[in-house]
């Protein structure tokens, strides 16, 4: 029994040592774990793209810029789902319209990237117009032409002519021989697009006439001045005519006393096949009147005088021709849009006239 108890004591001692050993190992491993958790980590790489979206015409370009943070290596690789992009971020749109992606990927961290959406639209069609579309010029004479280009920011054109010459600014010089020629403007942006004007070169001047104003509205019996301009001849005289009312040799038109729409015409004396016309609308004049009423004098009077002025306080001018027996008066000599100031006096049997009454004003409508 004693021998058994001694073995059991050694066994307990061994167990105690083993437990102590494993406890030390656990502490040592725990120390290693704590040291490992304090190690420094690398900053995250981030990438942004500018602009984040763009609209580009087919075949045109757009510059993109990538910004990398979190790394001293700021280089990126570029890619595009349609079109192409250079190593500097210059994107060239494809020839087909659509929506595409431009992508920049960090060379420091290939998991870091950013994308931009590019909407590619069809390139506008270039068109050219020329003004004037036709012209008549004397031999060796000149005519200025103007070309307008749409659908491109490049509005330059090249000029050419089948006869005579044309400068880079579109100034055409006719040849010394008569004929019909063409002046052409071709777009520098798209040389398949052009516009042409026809030029008739003649040996004799072409007479042309214009009238100013080309239309007018006046009242019955009123007047309006018209002017005619003749080109292509040293003889600038014209003959005037009108379908209603009358017109003088200097172009002064007098409307008839009836309403309506009439024509004033100027015909060239150098070439009576050339003329110009203006339309005249004649409307009835509006007759305005001012009616005055006043309180009759308490004294015996022979009548009243009515005075009118255009400035408050006078001076006044008498507007009645004979004494007004009644205490009212109608002034039918007023003008549209005018303002008048009225006073009244009383006259007794001895022709003695009183002072002015209080003043009243009247505003005449227009017209």
CATH of the domain at 147: 2.60.40.1080
What is the separation, in whole angstroms, between the first and last Cα of the chain?
147
Report the predicted TM-score, pTM, of the whole model to 2 decimal places.
0.35
Please say whether the beta carbons of 262 and 222 come within 8 A.
no
Q: Which of 34-38, 74-78, 149-153, 235-239 has the weakest average pLDDT?
A: 34-38
Same domain, 117 and 131: no
Residue 338 within a domain: yes
CA–CA dist 163, 160 (Å, integer): 9
- Asked if the model's pLDDT at residue 29 lies above 70, the reply is no
Please say whether the beta carbons of 294 and 344 come within 8 A.
yes
H or E element, residue 204 = none
Same domain, 167 and 103: no
> Peptide bond preceding 112: is omega within 30 degrees of 0, i.e. cis?
no
* SS3 state of residue 26: helix
Average pLDDT, the chain: 89
Question: Do β-strands 113-121 and 53-57 pair in parallel, antiparallel, or remain unpaired?
Answer: parallel
Residue 148 within a domain: yes
Look up residue 100 and give its two tokens: 């595409």
Residue 17 within a domain: no
Same domain, 162 and 187: yes
Quote the DSSP letter at residue 244: S
Spell out the residues 6+ positions from residue 195 whose beta carbon is closer than 8 angstroms to its own: 128, 129, 130, 147, 184, 185
The whole-number average pLDDT for the span 274-281 is 97
At which of 162, 180, 202 does a domain end? 202
Domain interval for residue 198: 127-202
At which of 283, 308, 328 does a domain end? 283
Residue 238 within a domain: yes
Spell out the residues 6+ positions from residue 56 whose beta carbon is closer than 8 angstroms to its own: 62, 91, 93, 118, 119, 120, 121
At which of 263, 283, 303 does a domain end? 283
pLDDT given at position 18: 45
pLDDT given at position 85: 97
CATH of the domain at 323: 2.60.40.10
- Asked if the model's pLDDT at residue 286 lies above 90, the reply is no
In sign, the C-alpha dihedral spanning 240, 244, 246, 250 is: negative
pLDDT band at 11 (very low <50, low <70, confident <90, very high): low
Q: Give the number of other CB atoms < 10 A from CB of residue 23.
A: 10
Residue 34 within a domain: no
Same domain, 267 and 294: no
């Amino acid at each position: 029994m004693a021998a058994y108890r001694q073995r059991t004591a050694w066994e307990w001692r061994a167990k105690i040592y083993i437990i102590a050993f494993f406890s030390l190992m656990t502490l040592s491993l725990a120390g290693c774990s704590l040291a490992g958790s304090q190690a420094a980590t690398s900053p995250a790489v981030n990438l942004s793209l500018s602009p984040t979206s763009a609209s580009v015409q087919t075949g045109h370009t757009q510059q993109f810029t990538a910004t990398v943070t979190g790394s001293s290596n700021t280089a990126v690789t570029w890619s595009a789902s349609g079109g192409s992009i250079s190593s500097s971020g210059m994107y060239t749109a494809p020839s087909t319209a659509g929506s595409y992606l431009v992508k920049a990927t960090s060379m420091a961290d290939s998991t870091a990237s950013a994308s931009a959406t590019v909407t590619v639209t069809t390139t506008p069609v270039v068109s050219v117009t020329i003004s004037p579309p036709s012209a008549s010029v004397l031999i060796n004479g000149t005519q200025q032409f103007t070309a307008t280009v749409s659908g491109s920011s490049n509005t330059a054109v090249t000029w050419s002519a089948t006869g005579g010459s044309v400068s880079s600014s579109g100034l055409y010089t006719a040849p010394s021989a008569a004929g019909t020629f063409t002046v052409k403007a071709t777009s520098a942006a798209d040389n398949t697009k052009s516009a042409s004007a026809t030029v008739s070169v003649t040996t004799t001047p072409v007479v042309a006439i214009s009238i100013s104003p080309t239309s007018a509205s006046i009242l019955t019996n009123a007047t309006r001045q018209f002017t005619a301009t003749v080109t292509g001849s040293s003889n600038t005289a014209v003959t005037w005519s009108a379908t209603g009312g009358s017109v003088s040799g200097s172009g002064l038109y007098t409307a008839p006393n009836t309403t309506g729409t009439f024509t004033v015409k100027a015909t060239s004396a150098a070439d009576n096949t050339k003329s110009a016309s203006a339309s005249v609308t004649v409307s009835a004049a509006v007759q305005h009147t001012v009616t005055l009423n006043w309180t009759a004098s308490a004294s015996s009077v022979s009548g009243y005088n009515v005075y009118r002025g255009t400035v408050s306080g006078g001076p006044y001018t008498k507007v009645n021709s004979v004494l007004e027996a009644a205490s009212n008066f109608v002034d039918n000599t007023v003008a549209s849009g005018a303002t008048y100031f009225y006073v009244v006096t009383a006259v007794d049997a001895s022709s003695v006239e009183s002072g002015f009454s209080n003043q009243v004003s009247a505003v005449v409508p227009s017209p």
